[in-house]
Amino acid sequence: MEKNQEIKTKVIEIYSEIANQSKTENANSCCGVGGCSTVDHEVFAEDYSKVKGYVSDADLGLGCGIPTEFAQIKAGDVVLDLGSGAGNDCFVAREITGPSGKVIGVDMTPVMIQKARKNAEKLQFNNVEFRHGEIENLPVNDCTVDVIVSNCVLNLVPDKEKAFQEMYRVLQPEGHFSVSDVVLKGDLPPALKHDAEMYAGCVSGAIQLDKYMGLLEKVGFEHLSIQKEKVTILPDEILEKYLNKEEINLYKQGEFGILSITVYGKKGSTCCC
């Protein structure tokens, strides 16, 4: 438990700093979990500029996908964004769910909550709400959410099974999620994984894809599928330190390595947790 709290404290510290930086400044900040001047943030970044509902002031450039793209949000839905940051995905979701729906963003970093609320006030959105809290203990009632989205946040959560249980708890019967995240595929040498974290901080906390999907199934989610997958290519100068030429080719072909994925899952027909 002490280790988990140390991780959360560190993440809050770094995200508090990032909240006060521009998207350009954050492009040099290890995707929100480190302080690396050498990070190539573009290995994960997605272009939101043509997405309806996009608000540039709310985009801190920290994601690894566009989860709302596959979330099947409908007008009038209640949408929950886990790790909502400055509100970017919440505002995109609000564009889809419309004024008859509701969007709730949850983040454990107080400065992020303040920034998101300020952005919502400027936009005069009265159906977008930001709540301070942790994903392992969501400040959301049972069975009240239609759709959950999240963007490159769950990998940072120490207790992923508890986070997935909370997702299941708050969803309505037949509700679903579409979350973008970072996972590992196959065995990476520990030193290579460490260098990968220094190069792109979103790798921090990532677990094996099979384990990730297994935990989602364990807590009760059904119809699990990967909606989008992208292999992260590390620079040759990093790979060559740990892999031979054949292994590098296998890495680049996606046989093993680091993936950014968007995952879908659905809750069953009862509210029971």
Q: Which two tokens stand for residue 98?
A: 């419309």
Position of tokens 């303040």?
114
CATH 3.30.360.10 fits 2-266, yes or no: no
First to last CA, the chain: 24
pLDDT band at 200 (very low <50, low <70, confident <90, very high): low
Spatial separation of the C-alpha atoms in residues 131 and 102, rounded to whole Å: 13
pLDDT over 90 for what percent of the chain? 51
pLDDT (0 to 100) of residue 41: 41
Position of tokens 């564009």?
95
* 92-117 mean pLDDT: 95
Spatial separation of the C-alpha atoms in residues 160 and 135, rounded to whole Å: 9
Nearest residue to 154 (alpha-carbon basis) of 39, 48, 63, 21: 63
Domain boundaries along the sequence of the chain: 2-266
- Flag the least confident range among 6-20, 27-41, 208-222, 225-239: 27-41
Identify residue 172 by its one-letter amino acid code: Q
Q: Which two tokens stand for residue 70?
A: 């596959």
* Greater pLDDT, 61 or 108: 108
Q: At residue 244, does pLDDT exceed 70? A: yes
Instruction: Return the number of other C-beta atoms located less than 10 Å from residue 105's C-beta.
Output: 28
Beta strand extents in 142-254 (DSSP E only)? 145-151, 171-185, 222-232
Position of tokens 């400065």?
111
pLDDT (0 to 100) of residue 238: 80
